[in-house]
Structure 1
Amino acid sequence: MTRWRLRLETEFVALQRQYQGLAQEFDDLKAQYQHLRRPFTVSKDVPFTDVWHYPAVPYYPGKHPCEKPAAMLEHIINASSRPGDVVLDCFMGSGSTGKACKALGRHFIGIELDEEIFNQVRAGME
């Protein structure tokens, strides 16, 4: 065997080992990605479109002026997060996002400028 051929075989074996490691790493990353993928299925029961129709929250004493329907918030949270994720609501208001997060197994961080409303929501969620 010539030195030239031996050198090529040695380099080939080294490259092959390196490729095997990269291939395994790729397979692991691909499996993780498949786990993270969210299937996009539209049906009568799951209308993932860009227009959603939800009835307004009916008036009740103490209703926050910008309160969102619970079903709409659950739809948004399900479409954009997984159980165990953290959801941030920078304009907490009535706390309906936090309640939906709790029902869907998400962690919640809420920010509210009005201290009185914040304390009411906090007491209602505990």
Structure 2
Amino acid sequence: MRRPCPQSATRIERGCIVSTRSDLGIVVRRRGSRVVLVRIVKGPLPRHRADIHPSWFGTIQMGLRLGDVIRCVPGVVNVHCLYPMRATTPDVLLQRIDKAVTRELAIRQDEDASRQRPGGPAIPHHRYG
């Protein structure tokens, strides 16, 4: 009996937990043969401003361990490089991921703009308010 290819592009959609060559990730958005992906970091020691912790129920539902975080720094990956796992992400957590990704992209855009100003980088006002 012939088994389906694990890199089947039809099963990878928003909210799927996928495996890449090096780690796990969550699909945030899919456009054609490319996906926007955020990584699942296993018990990180260094923290990042874009890290969010799933609830204990979400952790169990996704098959993760306590202490694992979702690093909401988006990256674009070809869908054929991914292997879909059986678990999916709860809708409430996907909404939190969307907000964290939007916030991280806005902060990075602000940082890039402040580096390009003459006279040195400016401190963004929203960080201290």
User: Shorter chain as normaliser: what TM range?
Assistant: under 0.3
Q: In terms of Rg, which structure is larger?
A: 1
Kindly indicate which of the two structures has a greater share of residues assigned to strand.
2
**Scaled by the length of structure 1, what TM-score is found?**
0.20
TM-score, structure 2 normalization? 0.20
